[in-house]
């Protein structure tokens, strides 16, 4: 007869999984459920963010293209307007340049008292039209000589001038705005070198009158 040790009883082997309590099993199941769909949600958010970045980049590029195109168009409009004004000014200047000999004839006729009757009306009408197109006449006796707007055809010395002066307008000059289309053709006089005004008036006066008398005869 076998003797048994008091206090010890044989117990069956229990697997480690079975040793978990029901709460632990429930927590494990919940963790497994959460771990499954989480990566899919993150990937979807990353994909949406990438698409948003692409859309923003494309929008910035299109905006830059539109701004560049608008700037080019504005430059084109300004260039076309500038060219249009320039072409108009050139056309008007060419027309008036061809008209200058007619205006010269009208001026000479007026000086000789021949601008009368119907010819006077026609001449004044031509001058009015030319003025409306912007033609301006310049050149007066007694004004200082300016090589930019005057063309000296005759030269003399005079005792009563202190600088090179236009003493006679042989042909008036014309301009359109700031653009000179023909300089004024003039006779100029300079102070007599090394002579006082009184002596110059006695000695050089006749010579000056003789030199400047040519255009009156022509």
CATH numbers and ranges of domains, the chain: 23-133 (no CATH), 136-217 (2.30.22.10)
Confidence (pLDDT) at 128? 94
Question: What's the mean per-residue pLDDT of the chain?
Answer: 79
Tell me the per-residue pLDDT of 67-95, one tens digit each, with 9 for 90 and over: 999 999 999 999 999 999 889 888 999 99
From the centroid of its chain, how far is CA 191? 46
What is the 3 state secondary structure string of 122-162? Answer: HHHHHHHHHHHCCEEEECCCCCECCCCCEEEEEEEEECCCC
Higher pLDDT: 67 or 194? It is 67
Confidence (pLDDT) at 46? 87
Confidence (pLDDT) at 217? 42
Confidence (pLDDT) at 45? 87
Cα atoms found within 13 Å of the Cα of residue 78, Cβ hemisphere only:
6
C-alpha distances in Å from residue 55, one per residue of 60, 109, 172: 9, 80, 70
Residue closest to 189 by CA, chosen among 160, 217, 215, 218 = 160
Q: Does position 211 have pLDDT exceeding 80, yes or no?
A: no
Confidence (pLDDT) at 206? 44
């Amino acid at each position: 007869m076998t003797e048994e040790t008091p206090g010890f009883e044989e117990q069956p082997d229990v697997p480690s999984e079975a040793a978990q309590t029901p709460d632990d099993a429930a927590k494990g199941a919940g963790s497994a459920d959460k771990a499954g769909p989480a990566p899919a949600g993150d990937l979807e958010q990353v994909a949406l963010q990438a698409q948003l970045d692409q859309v923003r980049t494309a929008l910035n590029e299109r905006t830059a293209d539109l701004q560049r195109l608008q700037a080019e168009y504005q430059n084109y409009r300004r260039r076309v307007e500038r060219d249009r004004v320039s072409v108009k000014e050139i056309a008007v200047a060419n027309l008036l340049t061809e008209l200058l000999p007619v205006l010269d004839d009208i001026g000479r006729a007026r000086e000789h008292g021949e601008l009368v009757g119907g010819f006077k009306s026609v001449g004044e009408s031509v001058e009015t039209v030319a003025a409306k197109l912007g033609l301006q006449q310049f050149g007066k006796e007694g004004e200082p000589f300016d090589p930019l707007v005057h063309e000296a055809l005759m030269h003399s010395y005079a005792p009563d001038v202190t600088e090179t002066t236009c003493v006679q307008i042989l042909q008036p000059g014309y301009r359109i705005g700031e653009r000179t289309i023909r300089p004024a053709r003039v006779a100029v006089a300079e102070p007599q070198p090394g002579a006082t005004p009184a002596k110059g008036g006695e000695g050089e006066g006749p010579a000056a009158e003789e030199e400047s008398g040519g255009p009156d005869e022509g």
